[in-house]
Chain A
Amino acid sequence: MGAITLQNVRKSFGDVEVIPGVDLEINEGEFVVFVGPSGCGKSTLLRLIAGLEDVTSGRILIDGQDVTDAGPAKRGLAMVFQSYALYPHMSVRKNIAFPLKMAKMPEAEQKARVDRAAKILNLDSYLDRRPGQLSGGQRQRVAIGRAIVREPAAFLFDEPLSNLDAALRVNMRVEISDLHNKLKTTMIYVTHDQVEAMTMADKIVVLRAGRIEQVGSPLDLYNSPANRFVGGFIGSPNMNFIEGEAARRMGAHSIGVRPEHWRMSTTEGAFPGTVGVAEHLGSDTLLHVELDSGENVIARAEGEFPVHHGDKIWLTPQDGRVYKFREDGLAA
């Protein structure tokens, strides 16, 4: 249960075409992350799958069945919203039981399922509280609990961690990944944070302006980006791009080097430059370097690298770690 297929799905709001045509295959049990900058249509695509928006044209199939015209409730999917969308006047227990109540499930079965979900999510001691009395992370878990009791074909997450603080986000990231390993249910997760995408996904779908730029496993995208956009989007800090003479010498319109793929030297190398800001983080060192050719690039050295503002530095890309792009942005 839980294979989802999009066939040439298009969506426009009035004259504005948000999604000009998407084909996508999501296999059963996969953790798929839609990632892209804000306004790229990733949330819209998720809402189309959920049935909260109507497609303009194209087909959506769940387990081979055409659900394009089916209402959200009929698709057997569960969604976790960015604002959690908990029902404020119901206790946590009633919130989680709500979809079961709507499905007219017997009381005893409802209780058993709620208790099981509460156990998985460590919510046992909060069941009688109202959502307003919970912290952000707990609300998040209630929202997930409400989703899992229905045993849906797939879970849809719409930027679920963006309202949490950084430390909690890391925790919840791990919890959601754990949950996926436990339940083995298809999950579709929308985020603009490429770190979330890289750490959680089996398969990442990179979107830009409603188009799929590339689909692949996190390391596929990292190691062989299909174009300059994906190269720049995946990886942190961002990939450095160098155009002009240096790129032409390598037979490309532009070349990309990830910050962690520079070899640094204070005496010799391919690209001479001056250190601007040096961020010494202990575990590694981030150097903002202005090359003599004018570009600003970031280089990352593991551990400590003893240079400071204004020092002269030479950067050399590691062998085989240079990404070449053509003028139209595609990988050469």
Chain B
Amino acid sequence: MATRQTQSLAKIMRAPAIILLLIWMIVPLGMTLYYSFLNYNLLNPTQTSWAGWFNYQYFYTDPAFWDSIWNTLILVLGVLCITVVGGILIALLIDKPIFGQGIVRILVISPFFVMPPVAALIWKNMIMHPSYGVFADVAQFLGMAPVDWFAQYPLFSIILIVAWQWLPFATLILLTALQSLDGEQMEAAEMDGASALSRFIYLTLPHMSRAITVVILIQTIFLLSIYAEILVTTNGGPGNASTNLTYLIYRAARLNFDIGGAAAGGIIAVVLANIVAIFLMRAVGKNLD
């Protein structure tokens, strides 16, 4: 029934949702763009004036700026590496028929249901804490000095927490890809003399490439805006050691009350995110068609 009439009807029916989504996106973006050219401080909100490019210059010359870009990149790449590699390994493991498979799968997926601040606080106070944490207990049991994770390896600690949260997502997507792998192909490869490792490299990995692409693209979108985990654990410190771009923007807006500067940072983040997206689509997007 794809007549011209039903098509135009479909357009009219779709329109409200699309228009709503558009407004939802355009209005905040437009306001951010507008604020980024204003001198606008919450300590003195009535006194706004046109600032031109000053906010951008100010944000860009902030000594924390390059640190934050670098940290953002390490954070995204680190989490991606851990979740993709770990996700493939866990998916391979739980794809095998075992007793209690259903429960094991639910357990594996469960971290995804924990809210980011809650997860980060649990990691901070119950797992990584230098005196109460499980890691400290293990270290002491082995006769080593406990590690003060957030002071000594702040960015790595945050990568660990975020990776723990996103591992279930990667595992889930990769597991479904794994389950659609044709068993006869595997048997054919076995007959062809391929070892388990060769079968993984030549059959399983290419088969999962599309799913891996999806995992990388979706996770990158969310990982660029990691914020809650940093706020409740290190507060971006020590120094700027765990400040990423999102957190730097938060700091400008909420600690310095500089709305104009934060808006400029936001626009820079949007531009950077788009650059990353273009690179990603070039690099891995061909797997999607």
Main secondary structure of the interface of A (DSSP, over half): loop
List residues of chain A with CB within 8 A of the CB of B189. Answer: 87, 98
For B185, give its contact among A52, A79, A85 (CB under 8 Å).
Answer: A85
The 0/1 profile, CB within 8 Å of A marked 1, for residues 192-221 of chain B is 111100100011001101000000000000
Q: Does A102 contact B (CB under 8 A)?
A: yes
CA distance A57 to B42 in the complex (A): 83
The distance in angstroms between the C-alpha atoms of A90 and B203, with both chains bound, is 9
Distance to closest chain A CB from B284 (angstroms) = 15
B contact face: mostly helix, strand, loop, or mixed: helix
B187 at the interface (CB under 8 A from A): yes
B residues contacting the other copy or chain, number (CB 8 A): 18
Tell me which of B182, B185, B191, B206 contacts A73 (CB under 8 A): B191
CB pair B190–A81 under 8 Å, yes or no, is no
Place the interface of chain A in its size category. Answer: 20 to 34
Across the interface, B198 reaches (CB within 8 A) one of A77, A85, A102, namely: A102
In the complex, what's the smallest C-beta–C-beta distance from B207 to chain A, in angstroms? 7
A262 CA to B166 CA, complexed, in Å: 75
| Residues of chain B contacted by A86 (CB below 8 angstroms) | 185, 188
B202 engages A72 (CB within 8 Å)? no
**Is A89 in contact with B207, judged by CB distance below 8 angstroms?**
yes
Give the distance in Å from the alpha carbon of A77 to the alpha carbon of B187 in the complex.
13
Interface residue B289 (Cβ < 8 Å from any Cβ of A): no
- A78 in the interface (beta carbon within 8 A): yes
Asked if A79 and B188 make an inter-chain contact with CB atoms under 8 angstroms apart, the answer reads yes
Contact B190 A73 (CB under 8 A): yes
B287 to chain A, nearest CB (A): 10
Assuming the contacts A52-B187, A87-B202, asked whether A102 and B193 have C-beta atoms less than 8 A apart, the reply is: yes
- Bound CA–CA A60/B207 (angstroms): 34
Q: Please tell me if the beta carbons of A52 and B194 are within 8 angstroms of each other in the complex.
A: no
Query: Measuring CB to CB, which residues of chain A are less than 8 angstroms from any residue of chain B?
Result: 50-52, 71-73, 77-79, 81-83, 85-90, 98-99, 102-103, 146, 150
7 pairs from A and B in contact (CB 8 Å cutoff): A51-B191, A78-B191, A79-B187, A79-B188, A81-B188, A85-B184, A102-B195
Q: Which residues of B contact A (CB under 8 A)?
A: 182, 184-185, 187-195, 198, 202-203, 206-207, 209
